[in-house]
Structure 1
Amino acid sequence: MYLCINGDIMEDKKINPLLTGSAETMLQSFYARAKYSRKKNAKFYDAKAIELVGKIDYDFSKAEKDSTMSNGVIARTIVFDELVKDFINKNPDCTVVNIACGLDTRFYRMDNGRITWYNVDLPETIEVRDAIYHESGRVSTIGISATDPAWADKVTKRGKMLFIIEGLSMYLTSDENAQMLSIIRDKFDNATVLMECLAKKWVNKERTEKSIQDTGAKFVFGADTFDDLGKAADGFRCIKNDDIIRGMTEIMPILKPFRKLPFLKKITQKILIFEKA
């Protein structure tokens, strides 16, 4: 997995990110949010994604055709936005750590003028993000792997903490996910975690999302409930086993009569909500 930029990043030049593997999936998600935001009555509007799609030199044609990937990204964005906004409303001076942020712009939709927000991702990804967003102050970046404990020391504003893990756990092994969660458990107090997990049914079946398969990324981990995290969840207690079904019904109302069917719950992405015990 690598990333480089050809030439200087200038306002009048296109950004040319060359990515492989899971790092490339951030562009697929980014494009899906931009495309959805152009729709009438969209549940969220990602102005940054719309602005920047035209500035990135990348072939989005596969993402354009991959409705499975796009619908999953949009549904989880709708539900994550709801959950994050609720947490911030209850804790207006909280600190949010967005792990594997990619080009995510949730801070700009959630900001209440008081929160502190850290975007964490691999150094090469943060290099691109910094060139685009130039973030500082209450929203800033940390370029370190999520499994490296060193990132925790760079989160200097503490207090009530919310950790967002979106679009990452399925690309990490069980041991890597355990390492990431152990950093949160050992380094922070007052920690609440929102962790997206692939349904176990889809592990090793990345071919169902063609644009993801073509990046070379592999789905290697899944969990349907908090209990499925096993020892990785030691030191945490479950708040709720959530999922993205209500997000799916927002973009596909035809699913509403079926939203409580066990089959639908079995195949959709999960959002596990838990806190430090």
Structure 2
Amino acid sequence: MHLLRPELGLIQETLLLTLHARALDAGSPGAILGDRLSAELAGRIDYDFGRLKVKPDLVATTALRAKKLDDAVRAFVAARPGCVVIDLGCGLDTRMWRCDPPPGVDWYDVDFPEVVALRAECLPGGSHLVAADLTSSGRLADVPGDRPAMIVAEGLLPFMPGDSFAAMARDLTRHFPSGELAINGYTRFAARAMKYHPSIKALGVKAAQGFDDPREPESWGAGLELAEEQLLVRAPEVAGFPQPLRALTRLTALSTALSRQGARVLRYRF
């Protein structure tokens, strides 16, 4: 079998971290996401995944946040079957295959040019691929803006400098007539703490961006309105977490303030 050897920068290399976590989840007895395509894809990549030092907590939270974001996409698409879906910073995520949208939905996967090139080789067909630097203007000029849009950004917020995430949100909500933005939101503390996580340290990435109040994006001038905050430590899937992570997660769930320091999924309407 021909193995792929990706050549990526530090930020782009984080896509291998999340791919590996999804693959490990798929191979576990109590899989949360059960993404077999990610497991197959990871097996086709020539990379020392062991150097990422992925622990059970990262596997569980990565799988759970992906599942909840998938649920948000499915619900939006079911209500608006002629919409577009924009997956920002898509990496090698197989969300389109997991969500299996109907033919009337146009799906756009957006990432750096080198990531899009790798994705075209690894996951050909299905979606429209858009090569773009998400910190610059004119990100999605070629994407039709005449339909409702479901915009997903998983794991992207901490890696965008300054107010570039807010600026991107403003551009997107002006481009489309209506829609939703779904993200996994990091608090400022959680974003700063990421750089000390063994997996992030292994890549040498310094992540820093986040916000504490889930309503803060309503002040970005993007017309966003908070629709839902899911604190994932309180999700029913926690019952399937391995010990001692399950016990620690349930203890954290007793406090809303502590719960927000963990994984959370935020949905905004515009």
TM-score interval for Structure 1 and Structure 2 normalised by the shorter chain: 0.7 to 0.9
1:270 to 259, 264, 267: 264
Aligned residues of 1:16 and 1:58 also touching (Cα < 8 A): yes
Aligned residues of 1:68 and 1:209 also touching (Cα < 8 A): no
Distance 2:186 2:15 in 1: 16
1:102 to 91, 103, 110: 91
1:166 to 154, 173, 197: 154
Aligned residues of 2:64 and 2:237 also touching (Cα < 8 A): yes
Residues 6-45 of structure 1: CA distance to partner in whole angstroms, max 9, x if unpaired?
A: xxxxxx4211113332211100100110110122342332
Aligned to 2:14: 25
Aligned to 2:64: 75
Aligned to 1:3: none
Counterpart code for 2:112: L
Structure 2 unmatched ranges of 5 or more: none
Residue 118, structure 1, aligned to residue 93, structure 2: no
Residues 155-211 of structure 1: CA distance to partner in whole angstroms, max 9, x if unpaired?
A: 127422100011101111231112211211221111210022212222322244211
Distance 1:229 1:72 in 2: 23
2:217 to 225, 229, 245: 229
The alignment-based identity, stated in percent, is 22
Counterpart code for 2:101: N
Aligned to 1:130: 120
Give the alignment's Cα RMSD to 1 decimal.
2.2
Residue 62, structure 1, aligned to residue 62, structure 2: no
3-state secondary structure, aligned to 2:180: strand
1:118-267 correspondence to structure 2 within 5 Å: 118-136=108-126, 139-156=127-144, 158-229=146-217, 231-245=219-233, 246=235, 249-252=238-241, 254=247, 255-256=249-250, 259-267=253-261
Aligned residues of 1:224 and 1:270 also touching (Cα < 8 A): no
Residues 96-122 of structure 1: CA distance to partner in whole angstroms, max 9, x if unpaired?
A: 100000000011011132322100001
Structure 1 unmatched ranges of 5 or more: 1-11
Quote how far apart the aligned CAs of 1:230 are. Answer: 6.4
> Normalising by the residue count of structure 1, what TM-score does the alignment of the two structures yield?
0.85
Aligned length: 263
Q: Structure 1 residues 46 and 237, CA, compared in 2 at 3 Å: closer, same or farther?
A: same
Distance 2:237 2:30 in 1: 15
3-state secondary structure, aligned to 2:182: strand
Distance 1:217 1:157 in 2: 34
123-132 or 18-27, larger mean C-alpha shift:
18-27
Distance 1:37 1:62 in 2: 20
Distance 1:247 1:68 in 2: 16
> Normalising by the residue count of structure 2, what TM-score does the alignment of the two structures yield?
0.87
